[in-house]
Amino acid sequence: MTEKYELDERAQLLLKQLIASYTRDAQPVGSKYLVELSGLEVSSATIRNIMSKLEAMGLVDSPHTSAGRIPTEAGYRFFVDSLLEVNDLGQSARKTISDRLSPDMTSNDLIHSATEILSSVTQLTGIVSLTHSTPAEIRHIEFMRLTERRILVILVINQDDVHNKVIEVDKDYSDIELNQAAQTLSRYLIGRDFNSARNQLVEELSELKSEVSTIMKAVLDAMEQVCNESDHDDLLTSGESNLLRYTELSDINKLRDIFNVFNEKKDLLQLLDSCTLADGVEIFIGSESGYTILSDFSVLGAPYQINGEVVGVVGVIGPTRIAYEQVIPVVDVTAKLLSSALNTQK
């Protein structure tokens, strides 16, 4: 929760100008330059006095190498909560995002596209979580004979999640037998929650004396593996190299740590999971994430939905000095347009 800071209009203006300058240049901001930026008709001494008060409040800090000041984590939080004026994304940018999130695309392509949009538009790292909270529903089952003992099982799960699985069998099944097995499995499984339908089918297969019962058991085992894999949370990232543009992140240890976070995924997934109940864009600045490795970064996330149910979070990660007023609407609009596209798929 943001602390209560009593700042008059002049102090608020100076803090906004300081943050805008540091966001742009990543350089400490001196009092003389702040006079120019603010347009206030006051002396540099007056500015220095106000800056000293802001520093005493913990909203700005003085690096050792400069008389200028930079925003602190608390300064960014106060700015975001109390001073930020979010830019309108504009019809042109909105249309660009909308065109790249066409309902004619598959769900997987839509989610990958959203990750790339967030990266390219913000010039940060785009992140999208996929929380497969709905049960795996079988939509289509098909068999293809590869060799005498190897069969390709083609499965379509949920909307358009296609999986191909090769299974080994104990005998050479004819095309007729494979079609019979596919029809039997389809009758039990199509349009139903796989786990509940499987239990019923396994019971009946134990009593079935058909030649195809063995292959159906093998297929069920393969399907169970696929459905379990599909039920795990996952994370997509795009534009990791964008972080190399920021001088404050150029330290090789910081870069190694953040790339490890991208690879291991667990911490970011847990952080994004806390955004699922957000009404709009949730923002974690520095240590607010709860992860030491992310202390120099900000993470922004907004949930996206299918049929009113949150199924994941879209967002970005970048340095704490990102242009929040520009990035927030991109994340917000991308989440809404992704939800719209997913809900209007044919």
Report which residue type is found at 47. I
What confidence score (pLDDT) does residue 1 get? 47
194 vs 226: CA distance, rounded Å? 11
**3-state secondary structure string, 149-189?**
CEEEEEEEECCCEEEEEEEECCCCCCHHHHHHHHHHHHHHH
- Domains in the chain and their CATH numbers? 9-83 (1.10.10.10), 91-131+233-343 (3.30.450.40), 138-230 (3.30.390.60)
pLDDT, one tens digit per residue, over 148-184 is 888 888 878 766 677 788 888 888 888 888 888 888 8
320 vs 297: CA distance, rounded Å? 5
Q: What is the pTM of this model?
A: 0.74
Q: Which residue has the higher pLDDT, 57 or 223?
A: 57
Is the per-residue pLDDT at 2 higher than 60?
no
Residue showing tokens 């392509």: 109
267 vs 176: CA distance, rounded Å? 50
pLDDT, one tens digit per residue, over 196-211 is 677 777 776 666 656 5
What b/e sequence results for 107-120 when a residue is b if at least 16 CB atoms lie within 10 Å of its CB, and e otherwise? beebbebbbebbbe
Is the per-residue pLDDT at 77 higher than 60?
yes
pLDDT, one tens digit per residue, over 78-99 is 999 999 999 888 899 999 999 9
* Burial of 39 from C-beta contacts in 10 A (0-12 / 13-18 / 19+): exposed
